[in-house]
């Protein structure tokens, strides 16, 4: 199936939802203790389980452009070095020399081999130790025992995922499930990086993530930005991947309404401009794919429950260099930064301040927020806890309980 057929089906669903004055919904509202955002014990558990055991989406193939390119990743405390060898194959290593553990590379770039800055041992791009500097003085060693520490990695559909520990096993096809063919046709590897922005906001990493997972807030919080574009509080919701823990939300734009008067078969690829497509990939990725750009958000826990870090990388898709809605890609990047900064993360940091008072025991996710319900239940399963359906009739301000 071409992606245009995927878009047509989504639009049919969204128009039906708009006409019915509803949205894809959960069976009931779901009430969850706010301790999921404030409990230091849960944060430690999330780091020891979810963030240690799950693969991480690191970058796109275009971030490792061609043979001899390298890319470093330090977002989770494990220093990772990606290389693309002379056969075009991607490798992931601990960014550490096997002599005395010095860091090998910073940033990203191109190199023929990896020379350690400390005592100049040389490794090839496949991680093999090739040269011990001034070997005659060092003494004899079995070089094959000194290859770089290898980490699991896979490149597929233009994305590169890696595990932060040698024991992590995964496959991108399993992560994407039945959404894999759609990702394959997007050709994310053909994108070009535009710019990167980093937020360190005093809020829990899941509170920050929550802002990406519903359209209920669009016409309220974003009334002066997205409010003029989006229909709001309407979304086609789908889950994918293991246990259905990933999700896709398609949010209709006002411009979609004009398609009611046009036969379905005349809807061409341009209909991708009539909605916004947001993907959550467990545990911490939000990926916004549009005809022109791809917005890649990676969210990480901080040292305390009320601290987090988001890294936002903006990419322009092939053919999108002329820009978005008349703006150039840099202007689009700045617009996204402004909306997240002044609206979503502003609200999220204030929620955290209120939760820190200990006076708000529960958060409630409505029927119209099915993605949030699905995602938070997956997080609890991920740390080995059973989601508890808190009674909806209780007082919102009841004391927080652990779940
Ligand atoms: S630590 Fe790398 S050569 Fe010594
Ligand atoms: Fe938002």
**Model pLDDT for residues 240-250, shown as the tens digit of each residue:** 999 999 999 99
**CA 287 to CA 277: how far, in whole Å?**
8
Kindly state whether residues 137 and 213 are assigned to the same domain. no
Task: Tally the domains of the chain.
Answer: 2
Q: How confident is the model at residue 386 (pLDDT cuts 50, 70, 90)?
A: confident
Helix H or strand E encompassing 9: helix 3-20
108-110 and 90-94 beta bridge pairing: unpaired
**CA 1 to CA 235: how far, in whole Å?**
22
What is the tens place of the pLDDT at every residue in 20-33? Answer: 999 999 999 999 99
Q: How far is CA 201 from the centre of its chain?
A: 17
Residue 1 has pLDDT above 70, yes or no: no
Apex CA 95: angle with CA 90 and CA 101, to 5°? 145
Kindly state whether residues 72 and 211 are assigned to the same domain. no
What is the tens place of the pLDDT at every residue in 254-293? Answer: 999 999 999 999 999 999 999 999 999 999 999 999 988 9
More confident residue, 90 or 324: 90
The CA 118 to ligand 2 mean position distance, Å, reads 46
Question: Using CB atoms within 10 A of its CB, is residue 139 exposed (0-12), middle (13-18) or buried (19+)?
Answer: exposed
Residue 397 has pLDDT above 80, yes or no: no
Q: What CATH number is given to the structural domain containing 94?
A: 2.102.10.10
Kindly state whether residues 118 and 256 are assigned to the same domain. no
Asked if residue 110 is part of any domain, the answer here is yes
More confident residue, 328 or 12: 12
Pocket test for ligand 1, best of 103, 119, 141 (most atoms within 8 A of CB): 119
Taking residue 382's Cβ as centre, other Cβ atoms within 10 Å add up to 19
What is the tens place of the pLDDT at every residue in 52-88? Answer: 999 999 999 999 999 999 999 999 999 999 999 999 9
Kindly state whether residues 280 and 147 are assigned to the same domain. no
Mean pLDDT of 4-26: 96
Q: What confidence score (pLDDT) does residue 311 get? A: 98
**Structural domain ending residue among the three candidates 129, 162, 195:** 162
Residue nearest to ligand 1 atom 4, measured at CA:
119
Percent of the chain with pLDDT over 70: 94
Q: What confidence score (pLDDT) does residue 402 get? A: 41
Asked if residue 391 is part of any domain, the answer here is no
The CA 18 to ligand 2 mean position distance, Å, reads 20
Kindly state whether residues 349 and 220 are assigned to the same domain. yes
Pocket test for ligand 1, best of 95, 104, 114, 118 (most atoms within 8 A of CB): 118
Q: What confidence score (pLDDT) does residue 16 get? A: 97
H-type alpha helices, 279-367: 329-339, 345-355
Asked if residue 398 is part of any domain, the answer here is no
Residue 393 has pLDDT above 70, yes or no: no
Binding site membership of 129 for ligand 1 (Cβ less than 6 Å):
no
For the CA of 101, the closest atom of ligand 1 is 1
Kindly state whether residues 324 and 192 are assigned to the same domain. yes
Q: Which domain, by its residues, includes 76?
A: 58-162
Q: List Cβ neighbours of 69 (8 Å cut-off, separation of 6 or more).
A: 83, 84, 108, 109, 110
Residue nearest to ligand 1 atom 1, measured at CA:
100
Q: What confidence score (pLDDT) does residue 216 get? A: 96
Q: What confidence score (pLDDT) does residue 328 get? A: 85
For the CA of 119, the closest atom of ligand 1 is 3
Binding site membership of 103 for ligand 1 (Cβ less than 6 Å):
no
Pocket test for ligand 1, best of 81, 100, 105, 134 (most atoms within 8 A of CB): 100
Asked if residue 133 is part of any domain, the answer here is yes
Kindly state whether residues 326 and 188 are assigned to the same domain. yes
Kindly state whether residues 307 and 261 are assigned to the same domain. yes
Question: Using CB atoms within 10 A of its CB, is residue 19 exposed (0-12), middle (13-18) or buried (19+)?
Answer: exposed
The CA 96 to ligand 1 mean position distance, Å, reads 9
Kindly state whether residues 109 and 12 are assigned to the same domain. no
Looking up tokens 């995602």 gives: 375
Question: Which two three-digit tokens encode residue 113?
Answer: 């081999």
Q: How confident is the model at residue 318 (pLDDT cuts 50, 70, 90)?
A: confident
Asked if residue 393 is part of any domain, the answer here is no
Pocket test for ligand 1, best of 94, 95, 97 (most atoms within 8 A of CB): 97
Kindly state whether residues 349 and 226 are assigned to the same domain. yes
Asked if residue 258 is part of any domain, the answer here is yes
**CA 251 to CA 131: how far, in whole Å?**
55
The CA 117 to ligand 1 mean position distance, Å, reads 7
Ligand whose nearest atom lies closest to the CA of 135: 1
Q: Which of 283, 270, 274 is nearest to 374 (CA)?
A: 283
Q: How far is CA 100 from the centre of its chain?
A: 34
**CA 203 to CA 194: how far, in whole Å?**
27
Q: How confident is the model at residue 400 (pLDDT cuts 50, 70, 90)?
A: very low
- Which neighbouring-strand residues pair with 160? 59, 155
**CA 360 to CA 322: how far, in whole Å?**
47
3-class secondary-structure state, position 82:
strand
Mean pLDDT of 307-317: 96
Looking up tokens 């402004």 gives: 338
Among 97-101, 381-385, 397-401, the minimum mean pLDDT is found in 397-401
Kindly state whether residues 90 and 154 are assigned to the same domain. yes
**CA 206 to CA 150: how far, in whole Å?**
30
What is the tens place of the pLDDT at every residue in 132-145? Answer: 999 999 999 999 99
Mean pLDDT of the chain: 93
Asked if residue 346 is part of any domain, the answer here is yes
The CA 83 to ligand 2 mean position distance, Å, reads 35
Residue 394 has pLDDT above 60, yes or no: no
The CA 372 to ligand 2 mean position distance, Å, reads 13
Percent of the chain with pLDDT over 90: 89
Q: How confident is the model at residue 398 (pLDDT cuts 50, 70, 90)?
A: very low
Q: How confident is the model at residue 226 (pLDDT cuts 50, 70, 90)?
A: confident
Apex CA 331: angle with CA 326 and CA 333, to 5°? 120
Kindly state whether residues 222 and 260 are assigned to the same domain. yes
**CA 147 to CA 93: how far, in whole Å?**
10
Q: How far is CA 174 from the centre of its chain?
A: 16
Q: What CATH number is given to the structural domain containing 349?
A: 3.90.380.10
Asked if residue 38 is part of any domain, the answer here is yes
Residue 403 has pLDDT above 90, yes or no: no
Q: What confidence score (pLDDT) does residue 399 get? A: 42
What is the number of residues in the chain? Answer: 403
**CA 265 to CA 5: how far, in whole Å?**
10
Binding site membership of 97 for ligand 1 (Cβ less than 6 Å):
yes
Radius of gyration of the chain, Cα coordinates, nearest whole angstrom: 23
Binding site membership of 96 for ligand 1 (Cβ less than 6 Å):
no
């Amino acid at each position: 199936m071409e992606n245009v057929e995927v878009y047509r089906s989504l639009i049919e669903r969204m128009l039906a939802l708009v006409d019915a004055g509803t949205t894809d919904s959960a069976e009931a509202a779901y009430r969850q203790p706010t301790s999921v955002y404030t409990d230091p014990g849960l944060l430690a558990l999330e780091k020891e389980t979810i963030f240690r055991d799950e693969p991480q989406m690191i970058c796109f193939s275009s971030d490792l452009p061609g043979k001899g390119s390298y890319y470093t990743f330090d977002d989770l405390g494990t220093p990772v070095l990606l290389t693309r060898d002379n056969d075009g194959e991607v490798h992931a290593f601990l960014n550490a020399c096997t002599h005395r553990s010095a860091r090998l590379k910073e940033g990203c770039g191109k190199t023929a081999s990896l020379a350690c800055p400390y005592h100049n041992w040389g490794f090839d791009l496949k991680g093999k130790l090739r040269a011990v500097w001034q070997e005659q003085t060092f003494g004899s060693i079995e070089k094959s025992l000194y290859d770089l520490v290898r980490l699991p990695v896979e490149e597929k559909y233009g994305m590169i995922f890696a595990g932060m520990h040698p024991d992590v096993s995964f496959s991108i096809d399993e992560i994407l499930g039945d959404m894999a063919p759609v990702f394959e046709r997007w050709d994310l590897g053909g994108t070009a990086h535009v710019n990167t922005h980093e937020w360190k906001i005093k809020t829990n990493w899941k509170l920050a993530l929550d802002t990406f997972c519903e359209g209920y807030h669009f016409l309220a919080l974003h009334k002066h930005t997205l409010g003029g574009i989006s229909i709001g509080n309407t979304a086609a919701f789908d889950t994918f991947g293991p246990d259905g823990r990933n999700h896709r939300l398609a949010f209709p734009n006002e411009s979609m309404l004009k398609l009611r008067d046009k036969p379905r078969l005349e809807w061409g690829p341009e209909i991708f401009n009539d909605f916004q497509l947001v993907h959550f990939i467990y545990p911490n990725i939000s990926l916004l794919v549009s005809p022109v750009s791809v917005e890649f958000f990676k969210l990480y826990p901080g040292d305390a429950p009320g601290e987090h870090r988001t890294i936002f990388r903006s990419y322009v898709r092939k053919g999108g260099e002329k820009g978005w809605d008349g703006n150039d890609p840099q202007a689009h990047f700045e617009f996204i930064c402004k909306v997240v900064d002044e609206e979503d993360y502003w609200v999220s940091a204030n929620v955290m301040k209120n939760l820190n008072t200990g006076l708000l025991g529960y958060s409630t996710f409505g029927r119209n927020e099915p993605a949030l319900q699905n995602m938070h239940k997956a997080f609890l399963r991920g740390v080995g806890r059973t989601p508890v359906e808190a009674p909806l009739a209780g007082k919102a301000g009841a004391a927080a309980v652990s779940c």
